[in-house]
Amino acid sequence: MIVGRFPESRPRRLRRNEQIRRLVRETHLTLDDLIYPLFVIPGENRVEEVPSMPGVYRYSVDRLTDAVKEVRDLGIPAVILFGIPEHKDEVGSDTWSDEGIIQRATRRIKEEVPDILVITDVCFCEYTSHGHCGVLRDGEVDNDATLENLKKQVVSHARAGADMVAPSGMMDGMVRAIRSALDSAGFSHIPIMSYSAKFASAFYGPFREAAQSAPAFGDRRSYQMDPANRREALKEVLMDIEEGADIVMVKPALAYLDVISDVKQNTLVPVCAYNVSGEYALVKAGGRLGWVDEERVMIEMLLSIKRAGADMIITYFAKDVAKLINGGKI
Ligand code: PBG
């Protein structure tokens, strides 16, 4: 590759003013990149801010649609739903009940805001009394027993009107199990966005507070990935694609930009990155303390995720960025 040499080449020529910088800019944040996460809680007329996530709220079903309309009106194409059920039990049976929290929320959104894509998070940790992502046997998550419950969960989500399902439990074989369940129930048109490379991360802390989903004992390291592993992430992703994943995800995003880049370069499917709760909370906290410029840090982080190769980003910043984009500020 030929690169110029100084003094013939002066890279600063292309940085002299904003107009020229716009012309040569390689990466852009657009509304099309964004997915906004929403937490749904039981009860009525409830809108509660998550203490460790300023600007992020949990909504009861009756207050949810206004929140979704705001997201739609900002031009964001999709939301992903997380539910906190009225009752938790050993197996997380709310997840496959047609009257479950996610099913009710999905139906309501599809009735009142049909022009937004509803993605449902498919897992058990918010719904089980022990907070693990599946069925327990002798203190461990039983992989194959959990697959059976996952099948019931996705079919029920699809019946409620979910446009896409996003399994996040890191069970082996979950994509194949879900694909076959959806296909046999007449939902072969519903895509699967798999949390393929999900790491056992401390960056999920604020989410677990918001979703009341911290494990009651132990941790998730027997199913979520070791943060030290890069090649294994690609293996997980390739296995998921073979099982039928339409979109693959890397999560968290910022400490795993190398993984996002690997996945982008070695696959032909769209890549999603999850800019998780802890990544959001740190920026908000730094901004509140006056230690960093929150807005600029946010843009820089999201750009880095895109530059690494993400085609879409699930982010609690989605509304903030959309406002900047709509105001012509970025
Ligand atoms: C599991 C799930 C988690 C997140 C999304 N789906 C939490 C976990 O594995 O404990 C975390 C998202 C975030 O931190 O923003 N259902």
What digits encode the pLDDT tens for the residues 56-100? Answer: 999 999 999 999 999 999 999 999 999 999 999 999 999 999 999
Neighbours of 31 (CB within 10 A): 14
> What's the pLDDT band for 304 if we cut at 50, 70, 90?
very high
Residue in 151, 198, 264, 284 annotated catalytic: 198
The residues spanned by each domain of the chain are: 26-326
Q: Does ligand 1 come within 6 angstroms of the Cβ of 152?
A: no
Chain length of the chain: 330
Q: Whose CA is nearest to atom 1 of ligand 1?
A: 168
What is the 278 CA–ligand 1 centroid distance (Å)?
Answer: 10
Tokens 């197996």 locate to 91
In sequence order, the β-bridge partners of residue 122 are: 167
Residue 9, exposed/middle/buried by CB under 10 A (0-12, 13-18, 19+)?
Answer: exposed
Nearest CA to 26 out of 10, 14, 13 is that of 14
Tokens 């040499």 locate to 5
For 194, the enclosing helix (H) or strand (E) is strand 193-198
Given the candidates 3.30.830.10, 3.40.630.30, 3.40.50.20, 3.20.20.70, the CATH classification of the domain at 26-326 is 3.20.20.70
Nearest CA to 79 out of 51, 44, 114 is that of 114
Q: Whose CA is nearest to atom 6 of ligand 1?
A: 168
Angle at Cα 246 formed by Cα 190 and Cα 175, nearest 5°? Answer: 80
Residue 198 known to be catalytic? yes
Tokens 């009394």 locate to 129
Query: What is the percentage of the chain residues whose pLDDT exceeds 90?
Result: 97
pTM of this structure: 0.98
What is the 240 CA–ligand 1 centroid distance (Å)?
Answer: 19
Tens digits of residue pLDDT in 91-113:
999 999 999 999 999 999 999 99
Phi, psi of 198 (to 5 degrees): -110, 120
